[in-house]
Amino acid sequence: MSAPEATAPGRVANGLDEAARLHWREDASEATLRRDGRRWTAWTAWIVTVFCVPGVLLLAIEPLTFPAAAICFAHAWAIPRIQARRGARQVVPIGSERSAGRRVDAARGPERVALGLLGDLVGHAQRDLLAATGLALERGGLGVWLIGEQGAILIRPGGRRVDCWCVRVAEQQQAPQHKAPQQRRGSATPRRRRGSATPREELPAGDRVAHLLLALREDELGFAKVANLGFSGARWRVRQHLPAVSRPALDAARAAVD
């Protein structure tokens, strides 16, 4: 597979408006990603320890307490699994169960046009991968990204760790055009809280991915600042929760990291 176009490794002068407005958030960098990754690893280890140690002690004291110990072990297995599943579900590949293109009221014409415009933004190999998996692959300074309708997965250098980000398209945006990234300012916003207005729901699936892709190309560090980190951990933990048709995209991103 040919190498995808690289995203600028640092913050650009005319970055995302949303990133500039989030002045209370720490700027994203290689160092902050490594720190957050260590925190997720420590948290996972702590959860496993908190539930496994009592289970082992119960069995050591009285083997008949096995049912209670099994509940402890089940919690130690289930909680990290739920977190990885949540991170994988945040991405929403095009054509998946939660895709905007699968809505009952989705218009077929605009959906096809949006997918065509999105295809113009990526190379031939990435276009084939997008058609097969519903995820757009983009190489950046922080690693290799897989972009969906409502988030992105970042495969970190080395390919062992992935970060799952939740981010959506701004409400006021129009259909994307094949223009330079700097003309698409303000194209990503963090997911709104439950209960907020969502007039953007009619936006076609391809437009959502295109806007996020252009925002990432314009300002990768700003994109990571605006997005909400929902999971960081081993690649295999996320892969098992992706739709089966989308898993080859994660494998291709892993190969692109090398």
**124 falls within a domain:** yes
**CB-count exposure of residue 244 (10 Å: 0-12, 13-18, 19+):** exposed
In a domain? residue 156:
yes
% of the chain with per-residue pLDDT over 90: 63
Say if 143 falls within a structural domain.
yes
Question: What percent of the chain stands above pLDDT 70?
Answer: 81
The model's pLDDT over 131-157, given as tens digits with 9 standing for 90+, comes to 999 999 999 999 999 999 999 999 999
Least confident of 126-130, 143-147, 254-258: 254-258
Q: Are 232 and 34 in contact (CB under 8 A)?
A: no
Q: Which domain holds residue 210?
A: 17-30+91-257
> Please, are residues 135 and 249 in contact by the beta-carbon 8 Å criterion?
yes
Q: What is the mean pLDDT of the chain?
A: 83
**Phi/psi at 104 (nearest 5 deg)?**
-65, -35
On whether residue 250 sits in a domain, the answer given is yes
Average pLDDT over residues 228-247: 95
What's the total number of domains in the chain?
1
pLDDT of residue 107: 67
Task: Give the Å distances, CA to CA, from 192 to 154, 195, 199, 226.
Answer: 21, 8, 12, 12
Q: In sequence order, what E strands does 58-193 have?
A: 136-139, 144-147, 151-155, 161-166
- Is 80 a member of any domain? no
Q: Does 161 or 198 have the greater pLDDT score?
A: 161
**Cα-based angle 27, 28, 30 (whole degrees, multiple of 5):** 135
pLDDT on residue 134: 94
Whole-prediction pTM: 0.80
Q: Is residue 155 part of a domain?
A: yes
Q: What is the pLDDT of residues 204-232, one digit of tens each?
A: 889 999 999 999 999 999 999 999 999 99
The DSSP annotation for 163-175 comes to: EEEE-B--TT---
Q: What is the mean pLDDT of residues 41-66?
A: 95
Please give the pLDDT value at position 16.
83
In a domain, 70, yes or no: no
Token pair, residue 43, equals: 């948290």
- Residue 41 in domain: no
